[in-house]
Amino acid sequence: MKIEVPYIDQSKKYPTGCESVTAVMLLHYLGYEISVDEFIRKYLEKKDFEIRDGIMYGPDPWKYFAGSPYDPDSFGCYAPVICRALEQIVGDRYEVVDETGKNLDELAETYLKQGMPVILWNSINMREPVIGPEWKLLDTGETFTWISNEHCMLLVGEDREHYIFNDPYENRGVIACPKEIIRDRYEAYHRQAVGLKKRFRYME
């Protein structure tokens, strides 16, 4: 089972923009005419880092994109940030659902089998997660620890042994990854996923 979704490569312009590129691939599949640049400029909530008394302060990735998707030294964001961006774009046509915590079988049943791709957090090239770096949060001063090699892809299908993704990293295109590895990486990055459900009054 595989859903055909228009592909976008992040490597030329959006080195840390995997979340935005993945979201726009989903939007294009649903017929929305929006560029990645417009998504980032108008809808993605972003905050930069600051040095205070020699200490690095930065945003909470659960609330903001940490840095800029155009900057190779920036980080990324987590599911609620992408949910808020998508909600502004899809309006009442779709319900945007933060599916963080759901297992992958549930996501496949709820979305893939209904012809709907899923935004999924995983790791770059299936690399091992690496703990760090750390920074102080701008709003609370608490220490936040980033898990490096974080990546976002669009789940578009599965077979018995693999999950299938549109992977925006380095123009990799459509890839198949062993389910066991995907499950492990999905766990490491807080089991984050975002799905869209068509609202009843818009159903044909």
Residue 199: per-residue pLDDT: 85
Q: Evaluate whether 191 touches 100 at the Cβ level (below 8 Å).
A: yes
Question: Quick one: pLDDT band at residue 201, thresholds 50, 70, 90?
Answer: low
Residue 195's DSSP bridge partners are: 97
Q: Are 192 and 79 in contact (CB under 8 A)?
A: yes
Identify the pLDDT of residue 169. 97
DSSP 8-state symbol, 2: B
Tokens representing residue 161 in the block: 């042994």
Cis, bond preceding 61 (omega within 30 deg of 0): no
With a cut of 80, say whether residue 204 has pLDDT above it: no
Q: What is the mean pLDDT of residues 15-33?
A: 98
Q: For residue range 71-127, what is the model confidence (pLDDT) as tens digits? A: 999 999 999 999 999 999 999 999 999 999 999 999 999 999 999 999 999 999 999
* The pLDDT of residue 63: 98
Whether the per-residue pLDDT at 203 is higher than 90: the answer is: no
- Domains belonging to the chain, first-starting first, are 18-202 (3.90.70.10)
Percent of the chain with pLDDT over 70: 98
| Rounded CA separation 110/5 (Å) | 18
Identify the CA nearest to 158 among candidates 49, 7, 2, 10: 2
CA distance 2 to 136: 42
Q: Is the pLDDT of residue 1 over 60?
A: yes
Q: Confidence class of residue 3 from pLDDT cuts 50, 70 and 90?
A: very high
Q: CB–CB of 149/139 below 8 Å? A: no
The model's pTM is 0.95
Predicted confidence (pLDDT) at residue 39 exceeds the cutoff of 70: yes
Q: Is the pLDDT of residue 202 over 90?
A: no
For 147-189, write each residue's pLDDT tens digit. Answer: 999 999 999 999 999 999 999 999 999 999 999 999 999 999 9
